[in-house]
Amino acid sequence: MVKLGKRFKEISESVDSLKIYEIDEAIKLVKNNAKAKFNETIEIVFNLGVDPKQADQMVRGVVKLPEGTGKEVRVAVFARDVKAKEAKDAGADIVGDDDLAETVKTGKFEFDRVISTPDMMAVVGQLGKILGPRGLMPNPKLGTVTDDVETAIKNIKGGSVEYRVEKAGIIHAGIGKADFTNGAIKNNIKAIWDAILSAKPSGAKGSYIKGVTLTSTMGAGVKVDPDSVIN
């Protein structure tokens, strides 16, 4: 703990908390500070001028990152018969129906995303109190309730990222790894930036993107100049 505190202090001192950095400088700084013994995740945080409690101000969607996420994503699929075989052939890590539902009910499962065929939603719907709080509930608007399980699996494993505004108007999203090139991270940032801009709700008033911060798993937050991302 002492070593971690010392390292974090050194990282914090390298970042001017009052400065808003141009995007290329911010990426370089975050990558340089990602010195943990594991490959840290690079994360972007949006502070939006919305009230998530209002139905017409929810910001939620999915975006395909052009450079991928650098993370191995474990996908569970609720499907039967032919669709179950399609899911297995497409690379799903876990495939099941009632048996998978029983596993979920135990609360002991290891997967990052969930897909369901429409006919299985009667079963999956009963798992809402478990999957919902974990952000795992399949949703047709996000392409995770579908008969085209092959495409859904390939999109997720290929770098598709789901984002959803949380309390206080915050969105967190992993957009790469510390070993990504600066250019790859920048491409992913632009992709999610465009997606969130496009998802601006009609009920949002005033400034929409109020602030953006870039950070790594063990690093300090670096404020980013929005204009440098757009240009």
- Kindly report, residue by residue over 157-177, the tens digit of the pLDDT: 988 898 999 888 999 999 999
| Torsion, Cα of 150, 153, 155, 159 (10° steps) | -150
4 vs 114, residue with greater confidence: 114
Judged against a pLDDT cut of 90, whether residue 195 lies above it is answered with yes
Beta carbons of 97 and 123 less than 8 angstroms apart:
yes
Judged against a pLDDT cut of 90, whether residue 204 lies above it is answered with no
| pLDDT category of residue 10 using cuts at 50, 70 and 90 | low
pLDDT, position 77: 98
* CATH code, 201: 3.30.190.20
Judged against a pLDDT cut of 60, whether residue 180 lies above it is answered with yes
Pair 176, 209 in one domain? yes
* CATH code, 117: 3.40.50.790
The single residue listed with the structure tokens 């100049």 is 225
Structural tokens at position 97: 């129906």
- What is the pTM (predicted TM-score) of this model? 0.82
Q: What percent of the chain is modeled with pLDDT above 70? A: 94
Total structural domains within the chain: 2
Beta carbons of 48 and 149 less than 8 angstroms apart:
no
| Arithmetic mean of pLDDT over the chain | 91
Pair 209, 145 in one domain? no
Domain boundary among 122, 157, 192: 157
Q: Round the CA-based radius of gyration of the chain to a whole number and report it.
A: 19
Beta carbons of 95 and 88 less than 8 angstroms apart:
yes
Contacts of 75 (CB under 8 A, 6+ apart): 91, 92, 93, 94, 111, 112, 113, 114, 115, 153, 156, 157
pLDDT, position 216: 95
Beta carbons of 76 and 92 less than 8 angstroms apart:
yes
How confident is the model over 125-139, as a mean pLDDT? Answer: 94
> Domain range holding 80?
75-157
Q: For residue 81, tell me if it sits in a domain.
A: yes
